[in-house]
């Protein structure tokens, strides 16, 4: 009998009312995107101080760190604890997929620098340019490596200085580090492969209502998804291939 694969999701955000009502929480959003039948996924609400026991880290095949409204360079207790656990997982060579805040946390733990985005915040569907030379054909990207990929962006911080051993896998007009990897076990994405149009639009409406952005910014954000979608299927495949150690045959 094949042993059941186990994955842990570190949720650095609370569930919005919309996500709770529509999807039953972010746990389901992530597992629907990255999970496969027959796997076991545990969620830990790290933003609320909920972490696995260190002795249990070994039993997981991979980890995903979510986005957050917090800054990855803050020194809250839970962020420092998360950094500590990521350091241990890195030493164990456990696979970690870092998304947005998670991407920045991994950069921080490995000695990079994270700070406010120099060209301002982003809330939109955007294109990132893939650094094809940095990607080994036949890796989790498969043999057909695209020139660019569309992804939903929702952040106000960025990786300013990469860790020494990191490889930039993608960049954009505004950000030098849209995606990076370290060795074979750390894969980090500034955008949100798990987001869809509904999630983005609800966030836009919420930050507009809270006065964080102006109407023009909100309209521009929604306009980016008027006639097109993110490359969600491709993102899903790449992230799953990475987490599960699959070598695609395309």
Residues known to be catalytic: 100, 192, 194
| SS3 (DSSP) at 107 | helix
For residue 209, what are its two tokens?
């209502």
CA distance 149 to 140: 15
Sign of the four-CA dihedral 128, 132, 137, 139 = negative
67: Cα separation from own chain's centroid: 6
CA distance 221 to 12: 24
Angle between helices 26-34 and 232-244 (to 10 degrees): 80
CA distance 231 to 130: 13
Give the other-Cβ count within 10 Å of 188's Cβ.
Answer: 29
Please provide the distance, in angstroms rounded to a whole number, between the alpha carbons at the two ends of the chain: 28
For residue 175, what are its two tokens?
């950000």
Please, what's the b/e burial string for 24-35 (b: 16 or more CB within 10 A of its CB; e: otherwise)?
ebbbbbbbebbb
Closest CA to 78 of 46, 30, 111: 46
| SS3 (DSSP) at 171 | strand
């Amino acid at each position: 009998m094949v042993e059941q694969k186990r994955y842990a999701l570190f949720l650095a955000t609370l569930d919005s009312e919309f996500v709770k009502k529509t999807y039953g929480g972010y746990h389901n959003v992530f597992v629907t995107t990255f999970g496969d039948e027959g796997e076991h996924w545990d969620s830990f609400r790290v933003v609320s101080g909920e972490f696995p026991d260190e002795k249990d880290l070994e039993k997981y095949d991979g980890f995903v760190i979510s986005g957050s409204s917090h800054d990855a360079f803050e020194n809250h207790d839970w962020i420092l604890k998360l950094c500590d656990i990521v350091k241990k997982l890195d030493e164990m060579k456990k696979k970690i997929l870092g998304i947005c805040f998670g991407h920045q946390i991994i950069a921080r733990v490995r000695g990079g620098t994270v700070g406010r985005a120099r060209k301002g915040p982003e809330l939109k569907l955007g294109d990132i340019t893939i650094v094809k030379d940095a990607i080994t054909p036949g890796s989790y990207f498969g043999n057909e490596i695209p020139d660019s990929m569309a992804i939903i962006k929702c952040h106000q911080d960025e990786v300013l200085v990469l860790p020494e051993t990191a490889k930039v896998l993608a960049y954009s007009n505004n950000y030098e580090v849209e995606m990076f990897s370290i060795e074979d076990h750390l894969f980090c994405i500034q955008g949100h492969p798990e987001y869809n149009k509904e999630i983005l639009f609800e966030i836009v409406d919420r930050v507009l209502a809270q006065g964080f952005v102006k109407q023009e910014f909100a309209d521009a954000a929604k306009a980016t998804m008027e006639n097109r979608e993110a490359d969600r299927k491709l993102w899903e495949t790449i992230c799953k291939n990475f987490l599960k150690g699959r070598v695609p045959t395309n």
